[in-house]
Amino acid sequence: MGLRPLLSRRSAGIASTSLALLLGAVTAGYVPAHAAPLANHAAEHAASEECEPVHADAKARPGSITEHDPNHLTEAQVAARENELIELVEMQVRREGAAAFAPVAPASVAIPVVVHVIQENSSRAGGNIPDSMIYSQIDVLNDSFSGATGGAPTAFSFALQSINRVTNPSWYPINYGSSSERSMKRSLRVGGAETLNIYLGDLSSGLLGWATFPQRSISKLDGVVVLNESLPGGTATNYNLGDTGTHEVGHWLNLYHTFQGGCSGSGDGVSDTPAEASPAYQCPTGRDTCSSAGVDPIHNFMDYTYDSCMYEFTPGQASRMLTAWNAYRA
């Protein structure tokens, strides 16, 4: 497939954040004891070639199945994931030294992207969206993750490697969690843990997208599924500026929803995103659902608001994604 290796994934320029701070940020608030059952479950399956990935979410359009977010994580799942990340960071530090987790300059990790366009037939309604929408989506990812839309810069940029068009009615629409989704990914996924595979199609149940979190052993099921008409210029009203793609890639880089855990506990594990009791939809004014400091982060890419309303990641999210990159995908 001519996949290029990552370009200069770590810059020589080292900033000042210490490993202790980094680990502190990762560790804050998570209690290992609660993670035991899931950790064991993960260990049991770690050896298999294709353990079922933890899906980040199934982002839905209001009016469809907004009550039903089958893969929103439980607190136990979050705790298990956090403990695994801490373990991986500690192992890597022992192996490579603290420099392995030194911050890198913005946009120093170029992620190779392969886009699979799943089509039922050659019509637009059958999934045949133009290349121009895919190029625009890559631009949106680059703008979003560079901070160009108003948020914090992150380490990541995105380089389109190829567009793979597949006509297969049995994979269309892409049905969340189905055997046909699994067979699609097993057939099509390319590259290693560092390669972002994006699957575009119509989606089951009015969903906008879903993603897998990074895993210790990356399987063929790793990747991001996005509603084709949510790409810039698509027909998904209020969700057609490409931010579903940004949101799902946020999960792929280990971010939780800003409303993860509600008002209590460690929430999304990121200190500079104020806690939020539940997803925000549309673009509410002055929403403040938790008494803890800060209004709800409705402009954050990891909430559920309209594309026109979300435009930022925070420095804490940027740091969390880079830690996870180094632990899981570098």
Residue 288 binds Ca ion, judged by CB under 5 A: yes
Closest approach, Cβ 198 to Zn ion, in A, equals: 15
312 assigned to active site: no
Stretch that binds Ca ion, among 35-43, 51-59, 196-204, 259-267 (CB under 5 A): 259-267
Nearer to Ca ion, 206 or 262 (CB): 262
Which residue has the CB atom at the shortest distance from Ca ion? Answer: 273
Element (H, E) at 246: helix 243-252
Nearer to Ca ion, 104 or 290 (CB): 290
Interface positions, 49-88, toward Zn ion (CB under 5 A) = 57, 59
Interface positions, 187-226, toward Zn ion (CB under 5 A) = none
Closest approach, Cβ 86 to Ca ion, in A, equals: 18
Closest approach, Cβ 283 to Zn ion, in A, equals: 17
Spatial contact of 109 and 17, defined as CB atoms under 8 Å apart = no
Q: Token pair 């990159």 is at which residue?
A: 325
Nearer to Zn ion, 26 or 73 (CB): 73
Closest approach, Cβ 278 to Ca ion, in A, equals: 13
All residues at 6 or more sequence positions from 146 whose CB lies less than 8 Å from its CB, including other chains: 106, 107, 153, 154, 157
* HSE-up (13 A, CA, CB side) for residue 253: 29
Candidates 267, 299, 311, 327; binder of Ca ion (CB under 5 A) is 267
Spatial contact of 144 and 301, defined as CB atoms under 8 Å apart = yes
Exactly one of 84, 194, 248, 276 is catalytic; name it.
248
Cα–Cα distances (Å) from 293 to 151, 271, 289, 312, in that order, read 19, 11, 10, 19
The beta strands (E) that lie in the chain are given as 55-60, 109-119, 156-167, 196-201, 207-212, 224-227
Active site residues: 248
